[in-house]
Amino acid sequence: MAAADRTVVDLAARRRDRRGPARADAPAPLLRTVYGEILRDERRDQDRTLAEVARAVGMSKQYLSEVERGRKEPSSEMLHSVCGALGLPLEHLLARGVRRLAVTRRAGTGALSGPPQERSPQVELLAA
């Protein structure tokens, strides 16, 4: 398949899909929201509680919950600590954030819009 015949599929979207589809006219999510979703997904994938991770980092579970929901803007030191507690390299958090924002941006631009004869199905598998 040629490189121009691809669509990006975000494997981590399984959890985001529960919140409903993103609207094409909705603004791009804030970076803190994207990072929070990734951290929550990682914590849940490890079957760990907010209290466990918060205790390992040395923060309150209420603060960690607000970070995961995108309500608080954590410092780079705090992100580093949470990633460390989850065994998630910081560069993986950053890369996942970029991929999610790129997917959101492409979804909002109507990448598959236009007459049917001009559309081509595109698939690209991204590891989360």
Q: Has residue 120 been placed in a domain?
A: yes
The pLDDT of residue 113 is 41
Mean pLDDT by 10 residues, the chain (128 residues): 51 53 68 95 96 96 96 94 96 94 73 43 56
Query: 9: which strand partners?
Result: 125
**Looking at the domain assignment, is residue 57 inside a domain?**
yes
Does a structural domain hold residue 106? Answer: yes
Q: For the chain, how many structural domains are there in total? A: 1
Residue 61: which domain range? 8-16+29-126
Asked whether the CA dihedral 50, 56, 60, 63 is positive or negative, the reply is negative
- 31: CB partners within 8 A, 6+ apart: 97, 101
The pLDDT of residue 115: 44
Residue 69 within any structural domain of the chain: yes
108 lies in a domain? yes
Residue 117: per-residue pLDDT: 47
- The predicted pLDDT at position 74 comes to 93
| CB neighbour list of residue 21: distance below 8 Å, 6 or more residues apart | none
Please report, for the domain that includes residue 76, its CATH number: 1.10.260.40
Predicted confidence at residue 116, as pLDDT, reads 45
* 34, part of any domain: yes
Q: Write down the pTM of the prediction.
A: 0.66
pLDDT at 4: 52
